[in-house]
Amino acid sequence: MDQVFKLIDKEKQRQREGLELIPSENYVSKEVLTAAGSILTNKYSEGYPSFKGIGENKEFWTDEKIAKEKLGNYRYYGGQENVDRIERLAISRACKLFHADHANVQPHSGANANEAVYWAWCRPGDTILAMSLPAGGHLTHGAPVTRSAHIYKFVGYGVDESGDIDYKELERIAIEEQPKIILIGFSAFMKVPDFKRVASIAKKVPGCLLMADMAHVAGLIAGGVHPNPLDYGFHVMTTTTHKTLRGPRGGLILSKGNVASPLKKPEHCLENIPILIDRAVFPGTQGGPLEHIVAAKAVAFGEALKPEFEDYAKRIVKNAKALAKALQKEGFILQGGGTENHLILINIKESFGIDGKFFERALDRVGLNLNANALPTDKGGAFRPSGVRLGTPAITTRGLNEKDMEIIAHLMRRVIDICVGLGEESLLGDAGDELANIKNEVKELALKHPVPGI
Ligand code: DSN
């Protein structure tokens, strides 16, 4: 057996015996796994399934008869009869889930999705206003190390003392800079954005594209426990499909506007953003789509459309609030004083005097996985930040409840009690031995809640 499979088995064991607290990770269903590992990986399908008729009849993608009549040929390869149908299913389910006029299901990742939207609407040198990285924004929202930051001029807004978006600052910069895109999105933010307020600010910036990167909370939106930016005048929403949405690793772009053939270059206006995005994904920034992943996305969107998913989304938030409360009781100081979504940021430096990386490594030793994360107040680099970031999407999938959140918070406090006052090298010595006992308790709790699909 190729040693890769041995390593996959080891990873299965790690996932089964540990508890995943990284807020951007999840466990997919067996069906999603099956589609992602299917023979669709053998197929090339550059281009798109037909979009003809979508303006008049949004349902046509799922209607076999109409689909046959209107089948256009926007693909660059033969043998598309099955792949086209699968991609149409993914598109129509995504549109239904997020109240969009159009979905591009081909982005390989959230980063690719964001880059395609920038390319669809901006030209080199144009200004994009987004949350800055230290405030909780994502790398692709203008961090100087990214390609986009070399192409566009990013200006950043921050958060206020309560941890919420500093809307006054956002408005001031928007009026001053007149950006081509205002982007609301984050990877370390625990409040619910006021989309209505941002849409009204955007009225003072003519021709500005309102974009939301909802990678972290897409599953909460799908489950109806978080507002949907597309319902508040936003033109575009990007997301990954693997976080709270619980699909395969990948990206997705949803938009409002005209939907037509991507073959003909449309007028550059906000109404045509769906077509501009299609052209920006392929051939603008990507080649052949990963149709096995598109199929897995379709399966995951189908799951998210079921009533059970609403219950799942509610339980994610309930667990996150319970975990936040239990952590505070154990002496952890939380950024923003708690959480309104699935994600918690702990100021570990202020709480116990150790940095985020040390705590991340110590928790790794007991099978509790989270990640070190910079806080808005951090001045240093991302490698030794003052915070850690954790969340509840994955453990909620495994069926852990609010009582279990108290147990997890207490296990984390016990790890702190072992580590405080010691250096990181102690993790390989005596502290490591003490942590081994906690690891057994984590394993016991984890094995009571099997990982779906494996
Ligand atoms: N890397 C993701 C996260 O963990 O938030 C964002 O893309």
**pTM for the whole structure:** 0.95
Give the domain-ending residue among 263, 279, 304: 304
Distance CA 20, CA 28 (A): 13
Tell me the CA–centroid distance for residue 167 and ligand 1, in Å. Answer: 24
Which atom of ligand 1 is closest in space to residue 188's alpha carbon? 5
Tell me the CA–centroid distance for residue 223 and ligand 1, in Å. Answer: 20
Question: With contact defined as beta carbons under 8 Å apart, do 280 and 119 qualify?
Answer: yes
Do 391 and 441 belong to one domain? yes
- Confidence tier at 51 by pLDDT (50, 70, 90): low
- In a domain? residue 335: yes
* Residue 206, domain CATH: 3.40.640.10
Tokens, residue 219: 């599953």
- In a domain? residue 183: yes
The 10s digit of each residue's pLDDT in 417-441 is: 998 888 777 877 777 778 999 999 9
Nearest residue CA, atom 1 of ligand 1? 24
Do 273 and 341 belong to one domain? no
Distance CA 364, CA 94 (A): 35
Distance CA 296, CA 249 (A): 9
Residues 6+ apart with CB under 8 A from 409: 323, 326, 327, 329, 330, 332
Do 181 and 323 belong to one domain? no
The 10s digit of each residue's pLDDT in 172-189 is: 999 999 999 999 999 999
Which atom of ligand 1 is closest in space to residue 240's alpha carbon? 7
The 10s digit of each residue's pLDDT in 227-275 is: 999 999 999 999 999 999 999 999 999 999 988 777 788 999 999 999 9
Do 153 and 261 belong to one domain? yes
Best mutation site among 138, 146, 373 for ligand 1 pocket (most ligand atoms within 8 Å of CB): 138
Distance CA 209, CA 391 (A): 30
- In a domain? residue 385: yes
Tell me the CA–centroid distance for residue 188 and ligand 1, in Å. Answer: 9
Residues 6+ apart with CB under 8 A from 242: 24, 25, 26, 28, 248, 249, 250
- Confidence tier at 380 by pLDDT (50, 70, 90): low
Do 350 and 242 belong to one domain? no
**127 catalytic residue (yes or no):** no
Best mutation site among 243, 245, 344, 388 for ligand 1 pocket (most ligand atoms within 8 Å of CB): 243
Q: Which residue has the tokens 């625990």?
A: 190
Tell me the CA–centroid distance for residue 146 and ligand 1, in Å. Answer: 15
Tell me the CA–centroid distance for residue 158 and ligand 1, in Å. Answer: 18
- In a domain? residue 134: yes
**243 catalytic residue (yes or no):** yes
Nearest residue CA, atom 6 of ligand 1? 187
Do 323 and 270 belong to one domain? no
- Confidence tier at 59 by pLDDT (50, 70, 90): very low
Instruction: Check whether 454 has a pLDDT greater than 90.
Output: no
Do 295 and 326 belong to one domain? no
User: Which residue is catalytic, options 43, 44, 197, 413?
Assistant: 44
Instruction: Check whether 72 has a pLDDT greater than 60.
Output: no
Do 42 and 8 belong to one domain? no
Tell me the CA–centroid distance for residue 54 and ligand 1, in Å. Answer: 33
The 10s digit of each residue's pLDDT in 112-164 is: 999 999 999 999 999 999 999 989 999 999 999 999 999 999 999 999 999 99
User: Which residue is catalytic, options 17, 46, 63, 402?
Assistant: 46
pLDDT at residue 423, as a whole number: 79
- DSSP state letters, 10-64: HHHHHHHHSEE--TT-----HHHHHHHTSGGGG----EE---TTTTT-GGGGT-H
Q: Which residues line ligand 1 (CB under 6 A)?
A: 24, 110, 138, 187, 215
Is 325 strand, coil or helix? helix
Look at the chain and report how many structural domains it folds into: 2
**213 catalytic residue (yes or no):** yes
User: Beta partners for 159?
Assistant: 165
pLDDT at residue 149, as a whole number: 97
Give the domain-ending residue among 247, 269, 304: 304
Quick one: angle between helices 430-447 and 402-419, nearest 10?
170
Distance CA 30, CA 130 (A): 37
**96 catalytic residue (yes or no):** no
Q: Tell me 441's DSSP state.
A: H
- In a domain? residue 31: no
Tell me the CA–centroid distance for residue 22 and ligand 1, in Å. Answer: 9
Do 337 and 392 belong to one domain? yes
- In a domain? residue 30: no
Instruction: Check whether 377 has a pLDDT greater than 60.
Output: yes
* Residue 339, domain CATH: 3.90.1150.10
Tokens, residue 130: 């987004």
Instruction: Check whether 36 has a pLDDT greater than 90.
Output: yes
Chain centre distance of CA 288? 22
**46 catalytic residue (yes or no):** yes
Task: Quote the domain boundaries for residue 143.
Answer: 37-304
pLDDT at residue 422, as a whole number: 81
254 backbone dihedrals φ, ψ, rounded to 5°: -110, 145
Do 215 and 152 belong to one domain? yes
SS (H, E, C) 139-203: HHHCCCCCHHHHHCEEEEECECCCCCECHHHHHHHHHHHCCCEEEEECCCCCCCCCHHHHHHHHC
- In a domain? residue 32: no
Average pLDDT over residues 363-371: 96
Distance CA 50, CA 61 (A): 9
User: Which residue is catalytic, options 20, 87, 171, 213?
Assistant: 213
- In a domain? residue 29: no
The 10s digit of each residue's pLDDT in 176-224 is: 999 999 999 999 999 999 999 999 999 999 999 999 999 999 999 999 9
Give the domain-ending residue among 252, 270, 304: 304
Residues 6+ apart with CB under 8 A from 390: 21, 22, 23, 323, 343, 344, 346, 370, 371
**176 catalytic residue (yes or no):** no
Taking phi over 0 as left and psi of -120 to 50 as alpha, with beta for the rest, 184 belongs to beta
Do 291 and 205 belong to one domain? yes
